[in-house]
Amino acid sequence: RALSPRPAVAVRCQEGQLAVTVRRDLFGTGRPVRAAELSLGTASCPPLSPNPAQAFVTFVAALHECGSTLQVTPDSLIYRTTLFYKPTRSGNPLIVRATPAEVPIECHYPRRSNVSSGAVHPTWAPFRSTVVAEERLRFSLRLMDDEWSRQRLSNGFQLGDSLRFQADVTSEGHVPLRLFVDQCVATATPDRSSSPRYAFIDLGGCLVDSRAEDTGSAFVSPRPRPESLRFLVDAFKFAGDTGNLV
């Protein structure tokens, strides 16, 4: 950084790029340098189309362009590049009127903060918030009434009736979710591995009970919302089972 109020090289570190403004009177001698003698990074990126009438030359480049390097520290992301001044030789090869110069440039970005332009309203949540939200996902599977308006008060059915199931997931502060049911198993006891056992949703979400010709089992479409899934299953009982409990 120069000690003068107007630095010879000024850098603006933006979200995805950096802008470098170079004073033509780079050394404060009153002799302006040529724009063609300036370049950015090891890739020798040229400046924006210079205006000879302006007293400054401007470079704009993405953070990963022009041969810049990235250093990751526990607290920061540091992008480094270099401004090069390579003067052309004078008309007399025996003398030198200027020497090359290199100006190191760094942009520091904090790793422990969420950076946004303010004008963008992202739909994602920070990772640490997502982890907390995933721990609060609440799943439910309910028997619904004939209008799908509320949970069914009675859990008694007759053969020929349809069971209306609604699966839901709710969370706090999570990104939008779309719910699927991979498997649903009916047993005669609360032990899902007991026998008899009938998987009426299986194979990664297929309602296999709907394959039979004598059933009206089906998924209900459209969904009321992405995080809910409704499906109909015809009432049944286990063959040879003297009880009436599923």
What's the CA gap between 130 and 124, in Å, rounded? 9
pLDDT tens profile 140-186: 999 999 999 999 999 899 988 999 999 999 876 677 889 999 999 99
What local confidence, expressed as pLDDT, does residue 2 receive? Answer: 41
β-bridge pairing 76-85 and 69-72: antiparallel
- The sign of the torsion formed by the CA atoms of 239, 242, 244, 246 equals negative
Regions of the chain with pLDDT less than 50: 1-4
Selection from 79, 85, 86 nearest residue 103 by Cα: 85
What's the CA gap between 167 and 205, in Å, rounded? 13
The domain ranges of the chain are: 9-110, 138-235
Pick the CATH number of 9-110 from 1.10.3720.10, 3.40.50.1220, 2.40.50.140, 2.60.40.3210: 2.60.40.3210
What local confidence, expressed as pLDDT, does residue 25 receive? Answer: 85
Q: Do 138-235 and 9-110 fall under one CATH topology?
A: yes
Residue 104, Cβ neighbours under 10 Å: how many? 9
> Residue 102 has which token pair?
């290199």
Residue 168: CA atoms inside 13 Å, Cβ hemisphere, count?
12
* DSSP bridge pairs for 163: 233
pTM score:
0.47
Helices (H) and strands (E) in the chain, counts: 1, 13
Residue 12, Cβ neighbours under 10 Å: how many? 11
- Considering the domain 138-235, what is its CATH architecture? Sandwich (2.60)
What local confidence, expressed as pLDDT, does residue 121 receive? Answer: 54
> Residue 51 has which token pair?
């205006």
Strand-by-strand arrangement of the 56-62 sheet:
9-13, 17-23, 56-62
Q: Are 185 and 209 in contact (CB under 8 A)?
A: no
Q: What is the CA radius of gyration of the chain?
A: 35
Please classify residue 158 by burial: count the beta carbons closer than 10 Å to its beta carbon, then call 0-12 exposed, 13-18 middle and 19+ buried. Answer: exposed
